[in-house]
Amino acid sequence: MTETGVRTLAWTLPEPPTEEEAEARLRQEGYESFRWHDVPGSNYPRHRHDYDECLWILKGEMTFRIEDRDYVLKAGDRLYLPAGTPHTATVPAAGGVTYLVGQRR
């Protein structure tokens, strides 16, 4: 966790959760979620949201840049972003990524 309230949860089990398991957990945490997929090389410029966001990687890898730090997430990992946190996101050129986007107002 950083002073901005950003936090990550690394997945430690051999297999990532199923989409249904991840959706159920996000719902328990108060998030509405939807599935998203980005193609290799996708890049989101610096932006922010007016809601808390939790991104849960189901397959692939994605890098988020927050302040001057990179957070590399792989299958099973989660990133919690408080509302208003400026960030970028990049998918490696070698592969796409599938993830759940959880939103909580």
Is the model's pTM score more than 0.75? yes
Per-residue model confidence as pLDDT tens digits over 45-87:
999 999 999 999 999 999 999 999 999 999 999 999 999 999 9
Report the topology of domain 7-104.
Jelly Rolls (2.60.120)
Cα–Cα distance list, 2 to 13, 23, 63, 66, 80 (Å): 25, 25, 17, 10, 11
DSSP symbol at 14: S
Residue 30, SS3 per DSSP: coil
Q: How far apart are CA 100 and CA 37, in angstroms?
A: 9
Beta-bridge mates of residue 79 = 8, 55
Q: How far apart are CA 65 and CA 90, in angstroms?
A: 8
Q: Supply the pLDDT for residue 2.
A: 46
Structure letter (DSSP) for residue 65:
E
The model's pLDDT over 5-40, given as tens digits with 9 standing for 90+, comes to: 899 999 999 999 999 999 999 999 999 999 999 999
